[in-house]
A and B are shown apart, each in its own frame.
Chain A
Amino acid sequence: EVQLVESGGNSVQPGGSLRLSCVASGFTFSSHSMNWVRQAPGKGLEWVAYIRSESSYIYYADSVRGRFTISRDNDKNTLYLQMNGLRDEDTAMYYCARDTYGEPTGYYDLWGRGTLVTVSS
């Protein structure tokens, strides 16, 4: 089955760190660019980060640049998001999403179910 499964979400205090993972199956993970997209409770979608298939290009939203790091291990079919310096406003459901182009276009044909990150003291 073609799917993405996220994990690693948890409750953490402000200033803390978390690492999210997204395991891909049923397709050639190494051929696809990948993204993290988040959604705060009751709010809209927000693009977080993009990584090209061979990690040659990486881009971030201004809101997370310098605090979050996207990476991937194509041998393990896994996408990661290292989140440091977490803030209250980072509280959200985090989705991994498969891209179709070699650029971050917003065209995501496959999404995971998400993993919840809660930042609170």
Chain B
Amino acid sequence: QSALTQPASVSGSPGQSITISCTGTSSDIGTYNLVSWYQQHPGKAPKLLIFEVNKRPSGVSNRFSGSKSGNTASLRISGLQAEDEGDYYCASYGGTSVVLFGGGTTLTVL
């Protein structure tokens, strides 16, 4: 099983919207609606933002939204804020009882 593919970095200005992609295969993202997204700030543990492709846990801002098309999942962040700067990871059930993570995307708020 290979890791999921994410862009290494994305950037945007405050107030803008950005999208981070997460590409897998027909064996993982393409088959299962079990994609999660995490935010991680330096020196901190990851924080769950999205689960089951597009569901938000209680307490997570509605500026964060998830979607999926085919083998690619996406995380959209609208109304960018300085506090959104950090690393973002996707995760998916990979079939055969394994979990796959993406390589991570660093978001810079300009």
- A residues adjacent to B (C-beta < 8 A): 35, 37, 44-47, 50, 57, 59, 61-62, 95, 100, 103-109, 111-114
Contact = CB atoms under 8 A, between A and B. Distances in A.
B34 interface: yes
| The 9 residue pairs across chains A and B that have the minimum distance between CB atoms | A106-B91, A47-B99, A111-B45, A44-B104, A106-B99, A59-B97, A45-B101, A107-B51, A105-B34
A50 B34 contact: no
Q: Is the interface of A mostly helix, strand, loop or mixed?
A: loop
Contacts of A105: 34, 36, 93, 99
A45 B34 contact: no
A112 B47 CA distance: 10
Interface residues of B, number: 26
A46 B34 contact: no
Interface of B: 1, 3, 34-36, 38, 40, 45-48, 51-52, 57, 89, 91-93, 97-104
B7 to A, nearest CB: 13
Contacts of A59: 97-98
Contact of B98 (A44, A104, A107, A111): A104
B46 to A, nearest CB: 6
Contact of A103 (B3, B97, B100, B102): B97
Q: Which of A44, A50, A95, A103 has the most CB of B within 10 A?
A: A44
Contacts of B104: 44-45
Contacts of A112: 45
Q: Which of B1, B38, B92 has the most CB of A within 10 A?
A: B38
Contacts of A100: 51
Contacts of A61: 98
